[in-house]
Each structure stands twice: as structure tokens, then as C-alpha cells.
Structure 1
Amino acid sequence: MTTKSPHDDLVLVTGGNGFAGSHMVARLLDGGYRVRTTIRSLDRRAEVRAMVSDPAGRLDIVSADLSMDRGWADAVDGCAYVIHVASPFPATQPDNADDLIVPARDGALRVLRAARDGGVKRVVLTSSFAAVGYSRKPGDEYDETDWTDPADDNTPYVRSKTIAERSAWDFVRSEGGDLELSVINPSGIFGPPLGPHLSASTGLVKAMLDGSMPVVPPLYFVVVDVRDVADIHLRAMTHPAAAGQRFLAGGETISFLRLARILAKHLGAAAAKVPTVELTPEQVREAARSNPALRDSVGQLGRIPVLHTEKARNVLGWAPRDTEATIVDTARSLIRLGLVAP
């Protein structure tokens, strides 16, 4: 979808300095839209502009914080659409789950309320597979009808994404007025970053390349390319059938070890430090006793999740790119940006 837009709609993207948010901004500008994006501190305006191409001067950067009401009415003013990407993602899980859950939920409601009051047509909310598939079910196969139970023993992040999305749907149903909501639930987002800020998934590739992950756990995850995540948001933003719908966005399910082998296959000397040894489930359980960072992994042992994305394909015409190409593009961009030594 690289054709220029025949209109001049203004679109707000929250968190335009982030990994996914910057790609949303770039794709919208490429599509001919006027774009406004929020960042918490205007000190980072130059960083955002360096990540995207804006020769026509169609990008406006404003300050707004998800923890405060101030700034959101101005941010949505004149906007036809809002893509709400910004959400807390901590480097480590907080001891108090509410430290993550409350800002994620209240931030989403703050954006939705401002959008409703500002006459926005539709909000596209970036949720997560975390809100879909972290309550176990036979076969580990998931589609948009599945929900993670927020009462389950999951990490604060998983619970925050579930509760925030649930709250968004409840708000639109009870208080949304004419506001439309569409939700995208991506799996692990890989792909080339536009700047120095990495997602957890791209950080995994970096850790394998720089040798800070010498062995891998026997875990599986679903890959989706950040460029395809941007694409599905744009499709959901304008497609008439997307109103009131959620869409899973994911591709192939792979293991940590297969990810390492893809890097070794394509990166040559740059992949000299990638891990070649996979721990056994017993070794992961033993290590988790003394390493809190591994404790969440224990609950995922034995899972090979499968995402059914027929809805996005059939309704929106969306299709993810090749997983191996996504992984290679991720790694090469990290090297090009100087985030990993060549």
C-alpha cells in the first residue's frame, strides 16, 4: 500500500518515537497523509524527524503524556483518525502489577475520550497477542475470539495489555458515541528499526549477535514484521468492515534456536557469536530458581502457539512477509545503525 492518498486527512499517532510508532508515521507520510505524533518530551523531536522522510513538511510533533489529561485535546484536534501505539513496556517487570496496568489502561481511555470529544472518526488501538493467547488452551491455536484471562498468573505486561484492550472496548460500547474502534493484536514484532530504540524482539536479535545470549531456552514465538504491522494498521484505519473488529497479526512460529540458525545462515562473520546450544526444559526450570528473569519462561515451556490470521487476510487483504527475510532485515539494520558490530 504505497499509493498516495487521494485525501488530506490528519492522523494522530501516539508514541511516534518508538519502534512501531515510527514505522506508522513513516507509512502514513508515504501514503500522503498529514501526520501528527505525540512524544512525552519535545527534546526528542529531532530524533523523530531523523527516522522518517518528510520532504513536504506534513509531520507535526506535539507533547502529550498518557498519565496526564493535559495536551490530548490539542493532539486530536482536527484529526480524522488516531492510531494509538504508545503503551508502557518496562525493561523489567514491576513488583507491583498496577504500576504497569494502571497507566496502560488509563492511557488508552484518555486517548479514546479525547478522540470521542474531538470528533475523531476511528481509533486503531495497538494491543497484542498477549491479550489473546496467554491463557492456555488445547492445541495452542488462537484467533480473534480468544482472550487472555487477566486473572491468570501472567506477567504484569501481559495483564496490562489484556486489561487495557478490554477497557477500550467497554468504553466504546458504553461511552464512545459515534467513535469507531479497531484493534490490532500483533505477535512478536521484528524488522528493521528506524532509530536506536529497540523492541523486546529486536533486542533479542541484538543479544544473539553480540554474544550476550550464549544459550537459548526451548521456547517458541510468532514473528511479525514491523512494516506489516504498520500496513495492517493503515488498512484497519480506513476499511469500512474493520470498525468494531480486532485483528490478529502474526506469521510463522519459530524457536529461539531457529532464529539463531537463520542469523548464522545469512550473516556470516557477523553471526559468529550467535548461540548454538538449546537448554533442556529441566535446565530452564533449574536456572529459574536463581534467575528471576527466567521464571516467566517456565510457564511457556512446551507451548508452540499457532495464530490464525485468516480474518486479517480475508477482510483487510493483509499478508505478512517471509519470516526469514524479516529476521535477516532486522539483523542487517542493527549492524547498519551501529547497534551491533559488523
Structure 2
Amino acid sequence: MAEVLVTGGSGYIGGWCTLALLNAGYSVRTTVRDLSREHKVREMLRRGGADPGDALQVVRADLAGDDGWADAAAGCDGVLHVASPTLTKAPKNDDEMVRPAVDGTLRVLRAARDGGVRRVVLTSAIGAIAYGHEQRDTPFTEQDWTNVDAEGIQPYQKSKTLAERAAWEFVRDGALELATVNPTGVLGPVLGLEYSPSLTGIARMLDGSMPALLPFATGYVDVRDVAALHLLALVEPAAAGERFIATAGRSLWLRDVAAILRDRLGERAAKVPTREMPLWAARQLAKVNPQVRQLRAALGRDLAATSVKAERLLGWKPRPIEDTIVETAESLLALHH
């Protein structure tokens, strides 16, 4: 497999996937919404230790329109569809986020099929698996799907679920192989100023702008391990037609994450909160705070999931999440000083 298309190369996961492919000897084509971002993509890769030169081609394609996708996919052996529509403000209704996610995914899949691509790996999320269920004692697996009709499901979780379902429906005719990677909270070193919502939570703990810890637990995973799983899902024969949860070890309450930061960083974690917000207060806050509203369905819950399938089927081995949490914090502190 010589050339791989990565959608959304300027994003956090997209940047690390591009880096992993380049380090493995592939040529990479990556899409950006605006070609003025090319220098930013190359700068991120340099920060990650790669200077790709001609091995990287940056092309313009926007998930919101058809232009550019046929050319972007033409001649590629595989596609990592990492890009996801982003909104600068909270959506007025679910469709503002759901429709672009579904339509954008189908655009990429059509271009891949028509361009003769063999396999697409779709970056989905735990948001397509673990929401809208009763509390349970067993971890979520790839057999589970988020119930988009349940109370409290937010547009992001709905968009991830419906986009992934649309992708599986699209490949039913067998013209294209599909695998999905469903990460839990993504942490790890930053390559630039764009990073995941989970990372924003760590940043807010460190800078003191999070006065109290929200009561919820989820799994976390290193972005480098997420990129490694994308590569395995792209090349391993056993990955075709499969979903893979990416998570490292046990799930952690935010109070656990805070304790790891304080324990390992000492004085540099002086602003990390120690108090957990009562559940009733967090639920009230979710009514008025858009960031907390995104987590409304998770409050008071432990969304534990297991990655045993990826480990068994593909030989994937995530690094210890405690080390990732510390590296995340050190990377953020270095970026902002």
C-alpha cells in the first residue's frame, strides 16, 4: 500500500495518523478545508519529528461539498477518514451537526469506492457506542451502539453514531472494505494548538479554570496508540468489516485523573482541583453551560469500555494511561510557556 489519503490532516488525530504513516514509509495525501493551512500541517509534523517533503501532498477538500474528493482519493490504496465537521458555536438543532457528519462520511466513501480504494478506516468514537444505556456492570464492547433516541444524547454523540451507521450501510454491497476505530477520551502530546476535548479538560485542570471536577468516568487512550490502531485496521486482513474500541486499561473518574496529575507533577499541578462537584450541581450546570451539556448523558456514570478485541485480533498494545496523562500535561505546559 503505497499512498494513503488522510482526511483532516490539520486535526489532532489526523496529524498523528499522518505522522505514523510517514514513519512507516507511506506516501500521504491529506485534505484541508483551506490550502493556507498547509504550512500548519507541515509545522505540526516537524514538531512530531518528521519532515515529509514530497512524501506528503496537501489537497483542498471540504466535507460540506463534493469538490476535490474524487481527485483526493484517486490512486490511493487506502483512506483514513479522520475529519469530522466542526461547529464554532453550539448547534441550534441536532441536524446542524448530524447532517454534515453523515453527508461528509458518504462523500468520502463514494470518492474512495469510485477511485478504486481497497479499504477505508473511519474514525468513529465511543460516542457511537456507550451512550443512552442503563447503568451496567460490564464494559461496553463493539457490539454496543449508542441509543440516539435516549434522553440527554447530544448532537456530537448522535452525529458520530449516525455517520458510522451510514458508513456500514454504504459498504453492504461489498465494493469497499471498512473498519472503524472508536476511541475513548484521546490524550497525549500536542503537535499544535488544535487538540481533543479530553485534552482541553486537562488544560483547564492545569490552568485553574476548572473550579471543581465533574462526576463521570470514561476510558482514555494515547493519541499515538489511536494512530497505531488506524494503521493496523488499514493493513491487517482480519480488520475488514470490524469495529475496534481504542482504550487503555480501566476507566477513570476525573478525580482519578486529577490525583495522577497532582501525584506525578507536584508543584506544576498546584491549580488542579481537588473537589468533585455533587451530581445534582453538575446536572444543573449542564442546563446552562454548553461544554458540560455535551457530557450530560455521562454525568454520574462510568462509561467503561474494553479494547480486548483490538488487542486479540490485531495485536494492538496501548501504553499505560498514567504515563500518557503525565506526558499530556507536560506537553500542554511546554506549549503555553
Instruction: Report the TM-score when normalising by structure 2.
Output: 0.94
Q: What is the 5 A alignment of 1:315-330?
A: 315-330=313-328
Q: What is the 5 A alignment of 1:114-125?
A: 114-125=111-122
Aligned to 1:47: 40
Deviating 4+ runs (over 6 angstroms): none
Q: Take 2:200 and 2:290, find their aligned partners in 1: how far apart are those partners?
A: 19
Establish whether residue 38 from structure 1 lines up as the match of residue 31 from structure 2.
yes
Aligned to 2:164: 165
In structure 2, the residue corresponding to 1:299 is in which secondary structure? helix
2:191 partner letter: L
Q: Take 1:315 and 1:286, find their aligned partners in 2: how far apart are those partners?
A: 43
Aligned to 2:210: 213
Q: What is the 5 A alignment of 1:83-98?
A: 83-90=80-87, 92-98=89-95
Q: Take 1:290 and 1:124, find their aligned partners in 2: how far apart are those partners?
A: 36
Deviations 1:54-94 (A, max 9, x none): 25530110100001111001101110000000012445531
Q: Take 1:297 and 1:34, find their aligned partners in 2: how far apart are those partners?
A: 38
The percentage of aligned residue pairs carrying the same residue is 49
Relative distance call for 1:46 and 1:293 in structure 2 (3 A) is closer
Relative distance call for 1:141 and 1:29 in structure 2 (3 A) is same
Relative distance call for 1:163 and 1:253 in structure 2 (3 A) is same
Unmatched runs of 5 consecutive residues or more in structure 2: none
1:39 partner letter: V
In structure 2, the residue corresponding to 1:278 is in which secondary structure? coil
1:43 partner letter: S
Q: What is the 5 A alignment of 1:217-228?
A: 217-228=214-225
Deviations 1:231-258 (A, max 9, x none): 0000010000111111111123111111
Q: Take 2:285 and 2:65, find their aligned partners in 1: how far apart are those partners?
A: 41
Q: Take 1:28 and 1:132, find their aligned partners in 2: how far apart are those partners?
A: 27
Q: Take 2:188 and 2:133, find their aligned partners in 1: how far apart are those partners?
A: 28
2:302 partner letter: I
Aligned to 1:128: 125
User: 1:140, 1:305 within 8 Å by CA — same for their partners in 2?
Assistant: no
In structure 2, the residue corresponding to 1:141 is in which secondary structure? coil
In structure 1, the residue corresponding to 2:195 is in which secondary structure? coil
Unmatched runs of 5 consecutive residues or more in structure 1: 1-7
Q: Take 2:325 and 2:229, find their aligned partners in 1: how far apart are those partners?
A: 19
Q: What is the 5 A alignment of 1:1-342?
A: 9-52=2-45, 53-55=50-52, 57-90=54-87, 92-137=89-134, 138-139=136-137, 141-153=139-151, 154-174=153-173, 177=175, 179-251=176-248, 252-291=250-289, 293-338=291-336, 341=337
**Would you say how many aligned residue pairs link Structure 1 and Structure 2?**
330
Q: Take 1:289 and 1:186, find their aligned partners in 2: how far apart are those partners?
A: 27
In structure 1, the residue corresponding to 2:43 is in which secondary structure? helix
Deviations 1:90-134 (A, max 9, x none): 455312111100000000000000000000010000001111111
User: 1:93, 1:156 within 8 Å by CA — same for their partners in 2?
Assistant: no
User: 2:133, 2:147 within 8 Å by CA — same for their partners in 1?
Assistant: no
Relative distance call for 1:141 and 1:91 in structure 2 (3 A) is farther
Deviations 1:130-186 (A, max 9, x none): 111112143252111111122223000000000000000001114x52x11111111
Kindly state the Cα deviation for residue 337 of structure 1 after the two structures are TM-superposed. Answer: 1.9
In structure 2, the residue corresponding to 1:28 is in which secondary structure? helix
In structure 1, the residue corresponding to 2:220 is in which secondary structure? strand
In structure 2, the residue corresponding to 1:83 is in which secondary structure? strand
Instruction: Report the TM-score when normalising by structure 1.
Output: 0.92
User: 1:14, 1:85 within 8 Å by CA — same for their partners in 2?
Assistant: yes
